[in-house]
Amino acid sequence: MGIRPKKKAKKPRPANEVSEQEIDQFVNAIKDSIALGRYPKLRDLSKNLAIEPARLNSITKYLERSGRIIIDGDGYIIWSRQPQGPEDDRPTFAEVAKIKGDLARIYGFEQNEGEELS
């Protein structure tokens, strides 16, 4: 009989740590839903993907903070921006939105030529 050395326990992977592959899987699921002509709902995506809820929440928050998706109050993804590369110069949702009237004056948005603020 000898003395066995203790095995070091592996450090468990944090529940909210996500990989690039999981993010791509989530973004592809959004693309597929949009290709079918409907806005995807977060609850529906979570049923279709085999990702734990904590990781799904981390992915959602990451994409929301980076400006790649916008989620409305009902849980629908209403905007999805796909970067094309480092020189991606496509407009964001805020740049595309038409804001008129007093709200534009309050936020100081510039008026395009030929457009009137009403």
Residue 109 confidence (pLDDT): 63
Note the pLDDT of residue 70.
86
pLDDT at 93: 63
Residue 117: what pLDDT?
Answer: 46
pLDDT at residue number 11: 79
Can you give the pLDDT at residue 89?
A: 63
Q: How many whole angstroms separate alpha carbon 67 and alpha carbon 65?
A: 5
Q: What angle do CA 100, 105, 110 make, to 5 degrees?
A: 80
Which residues of the chain carry a pLDDT beneath 70?
1, 82-96, 98-100, 107-118
How far is it, in rounded angstroms, from Cα 77 to Cα 70? 6
Domains observed in the chain: 20-87 (1.10.10.10)
Rounded Cα distance between 29 and 25, Å, is: 6
pTM as predicted: 0.59
Identify the pLDDT of residue 83. 59
Q: What is the pLDDT of residue 113?
A: 46
pLDDT at 42: 85
